């Protein structure tokens, strides 16, 4: 996959590890439609890649992501907000969450609203001490729109999500670590290095085993259950002698003779 350059979402490869970087630091990496489209394009390429084994999701500047750009979505008509903003964001974040490759988020600062929902789509989250997390939507008379009330509940439970969504209060990195939202808190300035080290650790493992383990764990949490189960069942069935017999009988236009092997 070639490098995506001069955009607000940057992409690069370090051997078997891919790095996605939000690159709009002057706006605290607030997400725009073009950024979402770039992210979707990168994720689609990763899903098709046989060379990338792990992914790091990072951000430039002092914030991870403060959510959707309010100047963009507040200008939309209600139906357009539903059709073009909420649905698109859900689809793109779901594609990220359902990547075969494990994703490590390097959270260098505030992860708020859609930024927290983006971080929640990763498999592992590492944060610096200055990172803060929140769902401030009710303070501006809206609601979490990109699975903050769904995927985040599966991660940390309904009570913790209610606390953030119903009070609009933020939690710090240590609290996020204590409740399981963040897996590690590292010294300031070290979060990207730590995320890369974890991704490289993942990349050293048997890739199919790591990817299948991710899918099994996701299925247990209710994330993409049907697709994960059917995908693995189909792959298992394809390895059997009966699968070869089925294809041969179809091509030879004869009745198959299955042996249960």
**How far are the Cα atoms of 26, 28, 102 from residue 38, in angstroms, in the given order?**
18, 17, 19
Q: Is 137 a catalytic residue?
A: yes
Structural tokens at position 206: 């048997």
pLDDT for 4: 43
- From the first residue on, what is the mean pLDDT of each consecutive set of 10 residues in the chain (261 residues)? 63 97 96 92 95 98 92 67 74 94 98 96 97 93 87 95 96 98 97 98 95 90 68 67 75 83 78
CB atoms closer than 10 angstroms to residue 150: 15
Assess whether 174 carries a catalytic annotation: no
Name the catalytic one among 117, 128, 194, 223.
117
**Half-sphere exposure (Cβ direction) of 189: Cα atoms closer than 13 Å:** 0
Q: Please pick, among 21, 40, 128, 137, the residue that the annotation labels catalytic.
A: 137
Q: Tell me how far CA of residue 6 lies from CA of 3, 42, 46, 57, 228, in angstroms.
A: 10, 14, 19, 18, 35
Where along the chain do its domains lie?
Answer: 9-203, 207-252
Helix (H) or strand (E) holding 244: helix 241-252
One of 3.40.1160.10, 3.40.50.1820, 2.60.40.1730, 3.90.226.10 is the CATH number of 9-203, namely 3.90.226.10
């Amino acid at each position: 996959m070639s490098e995506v350059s001069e955009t607000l979402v940057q992409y690069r490869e370090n051997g078997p590890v891919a790095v996605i970087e939000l690159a709009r630091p002057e706006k605290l990496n607030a997400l725009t439609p073009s950024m979402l489209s770039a992210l979707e394009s990168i994720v689609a390429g990763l899903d098709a890649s046989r060379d990338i084994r792990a992914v790091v999701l990072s951000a430039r500047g002092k914030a991870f992501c403060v959510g959707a750009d309010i100047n963009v979505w507040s200008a939309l008509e209600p139906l357009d907000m539903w059709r073009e903003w909420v649905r698109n964001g859900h689809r793109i974040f779901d594609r990220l969450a359902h990547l075969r490759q494990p994703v490590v988020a390097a959270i260098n600062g505030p992860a708020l609203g859609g930024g927290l929902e983006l971080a929640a789509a990763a498999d592992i989250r590492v944060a610096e001490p200055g990172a803060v997390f929140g769902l401030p939507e009710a303070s501006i008379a809206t609601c979490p729109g990109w699975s903050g009330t769904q995927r985040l509940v599966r991660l940390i439970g309904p009570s913790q999500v209610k606390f953030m969504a119903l009070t609009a209060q933020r939690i710090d990195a240590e609290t996020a670590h204590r409740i399981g939202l963040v897996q590690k808190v590292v010294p300031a300035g070290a979060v990207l290095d730590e995320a890369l080290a974890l991704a490289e650790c993942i990349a050293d493992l048997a890739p199919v085993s790591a990817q299948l383990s991710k899918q099994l764990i996701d299925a247990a949490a209710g994330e993409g259950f049907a697709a994960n189960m059917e995908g693995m069942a189909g792959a298992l069935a394809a390895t059997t002698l009966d699968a070869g017999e089925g294809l041969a009988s179809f091509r030879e236009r004869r009745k198959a003779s299955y042996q249960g092997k």
